[in-house]
Structure 1
Amino acid sequence: MQIVTKKLLKLGVDEGKEINESQLVLLDLKEDEKSEWRALSLNKQLSDARAELFILLNGVEDKEIQDKIIFNYKALQKFRKEENDKELEVEVKIQMPTSESGNVTIYCDGGCTPNPGKAGSGVAVYRNDTLSELWYGLYEEMGTNNTAELGALYESLLLAQKEAVNGNTVEIKCDSMYSINCIKTWAISWEKKGWTKKGGEIKNLEIIKLSYHLYNSIKNDVTLSHIKAHSGFEGNELADRMTMYTILEKSESFVKYDKEIVVADILNMRAG
């Protein structure tokens, strides 16, 4: 996910030029909002794909050409995903996780298809570098990537809290910079301002506040770090598959995966 900044907007629309129709759609703006599109776009959450397309469409005025660029981009993304799935199926160089900050590592992920749409969260827990358990749930009929990611992080913090009580130190690896920034960085300022921010409402405030206070209570025993999604780490891939399993099972409760854990079979499940 990307946060829309002035720099990103300048990359997409040259100074003195007008935003085109397809770029408005990518920013979730309507035609009657065109005159204020810059102000309305700042600080929005934008998927990596939408951000890249927004920049690729810079200066393209012809609607047919815009549509062709979008079509070709989606085809390229599909091709890349299919190639990545093939690699996962044959388990090419899957990296085993390392516990840099203790003996428990928790990988968390959230997914949504489409966005917004059916959403779910997943977690993979490793003890002494060995897969211990999988968790899934928090199904939403109409969720977003952000709500799913925040839910997964909150459940990971709850698991980490139990581990800390038992004297373990824990590392949580999350592939959502949005969720990490909400808990570790932005919430500090938001709290000081009475849980408000300049430019509008704080989306997903309830889960952010819960996660922020929980994190602060255990942060001496827990390390929260970012991991790039789909970069070859088994734990991240398994957490991802649990998000899709949630959507398949429509499990609103966050529960432990109770089937036999066969890593190869789970990795061959649908990826998020």
Structure 2
Amino acid sequence: MENITNNEIVIYTDGGCSGNPGPGGWGCVILDGTKETTLSGGESPTTNNRMELTAAISALRAVCDSPELKCRPVCVYSDSQYVKNGITSWIKNWKKNGWKTAAKKSVLNKDLWEELDILFNSLSVEWKWVKGHAGIKYNEICDSLCQEEIHKRM
């Protein structure tokens, strides 16, 4: 079990698809210090970025829906710079600019960003990036869950 300090919940997430767009899947592992919970799902057709976002949303929703977990600090590990940078940095300007990018284009996946933003702001969340496909145990589990979901939709 991951070394969890300060009553922290540790979450790993991953999403992907076969083709972009194509059949997609997502997976997450929630470590609360006493147990490991895995969640997964998918869509077809979808994009890699939508599945990465859905993995994070699903994990944080599970924490928010649990009276025992929702008051604890959370650390989310994602191999997606898009998710990590989007929620910790880019989203501030997107909202300020009416959901437009710096290039004045509409933000893609706005529906998911809005949902992730609500969850993020209702919890105490720290985001960390991890290298994908680098042998990190829980990231690899998430990738396996993701691949299983993709194959269900092919």
Supply the distance in 1 between the matched residues of 2:6 and 2:59 (Cα, whole angstroms): 16
Equivalent positions of 1:239-254 (< 5 A) are: 239-250=142-153
Q: CA 1:216–1:247 in 2, change beyond 3 Å: closer, same or farther?
A: same
Question: Aligned with 1:158: secondary structure?
Answer: helix
Supply the distance in 2 between the matched residues of 1:163 and 1:112 (Cα, whole angstroms): 29
Equivalent residue, structure 2, for 1:132: 36
Equivalent positions of 1:1-272 (< 5 A) are: 97-100=2-5, 102-128=7-33, 132-137=36-41, 139-163=42-66, 166=69, 167-199=71-103, 200-218=105-123, 221-250=124-153
Show structure 1 runs of 5+ residues with no match. 1-95, 251-272
Greater relative CO (CA pairs within 8 A, separation 6+): 2
Supply the distance in 2 between the matched residues of 1:249 and 1:112 (Cα, whole angstroms): 12
Contact 1:136 1:242 in 2 (8 A): yes
Equivalent residue, structure 2, for 1:91: none
Supply the distance in 2 between the matched residues of 1:175 and 1:127 (Cα, whole angstroms): 20
Q: State the aligned residue count.
A: 151
Q: CA 1:242–1:217 in 2, change beyond 3 Å: closer, same or farther?
A: same
Structure with bigger strand share is 2
Contact 2:8 2:32 in 1 (8 A): yes
Structure 2 counterpart of 1:154, which letter?
Answer: I
Show structure 2 runs of 5+ residues with no match. none
Quote the RMSD (CA, aligned, Å): 2.0
With normalisation by structure 2, the TM-score equals: 0.86
Supply the distance in 2 between the matched residues of 1:103 and 1:211 (Cα, whole angstroms): 19
With normalisation by structure 1, the TM-score equals: 0.51
**1:198, CA displacement in angstroms?**
3.3
With 190-199 and 177-186 compared, the bigger mean Cα shift is at: 190-199
Contact 1:175 1:227 in 2 (8 A): yes
With 98-107 and 198-207 compared, the bigger mean Cα shift is at: 98-107
Contact 1:97 1:233 in 2 (8 A): no
Identity across matched positions, percent: 30
